[in-house]
Amino acid sequence: MKIKTSKESAKFDGDTDDLAEFPSSFLSVENPITRITATEIPVTHPAEPDMFARHDGVPAHDQAALSGKRIVLVGGGGLNSWVAVGLARSGARRLTVIDPDRVDRTNLSRQFFFQEDLGELKGMRLAANLERQAVGGAAITGIGLPFEEALEDFSIDADILVVGVDNNSCRLAAAQEARRRRIPAVFSMLSRDGMRCQVFYQDPTTIEPCLWCALPNLDPDKIMPCASAIISSCFMAAAFTTFFVHRGLMGWGTIERFNWREADLTGMALNQTGMIKKREDCPVCSGG
């Protein structure tokens, strides 16, 4: 395991000038991985219903499937904070959060962080903050490294990738990693004004489309770190993303399958739900 100094960690954020606003006391020498064990809230009376009893009857719900699967969240900011809360609350018991960014004050308006998290690595702090959310108990790992570096440094088991990041190169890396592992991946994205979300489910089977089939014009060099966002758009995207993660782990039952969800808070544009088709010339699907 590599121990990184604060100076080395600062490099991961790309432009070190962005960190100038943090007092140096926030940037401590640290280990980039943390492991948290949340304990299940015990029953107070033997006759109490099971904690997840209200999930019974929800179409295609399978609590055991959700509980046992290893969920890796790539990104722990505005999109994935709330997906992580949703998964932890609904009974996912094996969670890993990977995010190398540091919590800043603007994040507090819409991400699951608090005053004491300021200046700290999001992957590590979100894992810690999820402890109280995991009411059914969970093993939660937080990693404060970029996705590809985390894969190099640690053995990360995954049954599904949940990708909520602001840059296309990480989305591409995650799409390819999911293909290599033959596991599903869910991608969520917000429009620049924060009013519209797109969420895509990439099936593990190669006969189904990948993210690049769905969005062939994604520029791998494009980053949207300062796009607008408000908590309502984060919640909208997180709801659809959490639904896709549940379906990816539990199956669809009698629900008609789809892999694309697009919705607009303003109601000005048509909401879309459907099946994206595979592109024959897709470089990701052909292993490129």
Chain residues binding Zn ion by CB under 5 A are 210, 212-213, 282, 284-285
Pairing of strands 160-163, 185-190: parallel
Q: 104-121: string of b/e by CB count within 10 Å (b at 16+)? A: beebeebbbbeeebbbbb
As measured in angstroms, the least distance from the Cβ of 276 to Zn ion is 10
Q: Which is nearer to Zn ion, 151 or 175 (by Cβ)?
A: 175
As measured in angstroms, the least distance from the Cβ of 214 to Zn ion is 8
Check: CB of residue 166 under 8 Å from CB of residue 223. yes
Single-letter amino acid code for the residue at 185: A
Check: CB of residue 168 under 8 Å from CB of residue 148. no
Q: Which is nearer to Zn ion, 140 or 213 (by Cβ)?
A: 213
Q: Which is nearer to Zn ion, 120 or 177 (by Cβ)?
A: 177
Q: Which of 105, 108, 86 is nearest to 95 (CA)?
A: 86
As measured in angstroms, the least distance from the Cβ of 16 to Zn ion is 35
As measured in angstroms, the least distance from the Cβ of 248 to Zn ion is 17
Torsion angle, alpha carbons of 153, 154, 160, 164, to 10? -50
Q: Which is nearer to Zn ion, 17 or 280 (by Cβ)?
A: 280
Q: Which is nearer to Zn ion, 210 or 234 (by Cβ)?
A: 210
Distance CA 171, CA 142 (A): 19
As measured in angstroms, the least distance from the Cβ of 59 to Zn ion is 29
**Residue nearest Zn ion (C-beta atom):** 282
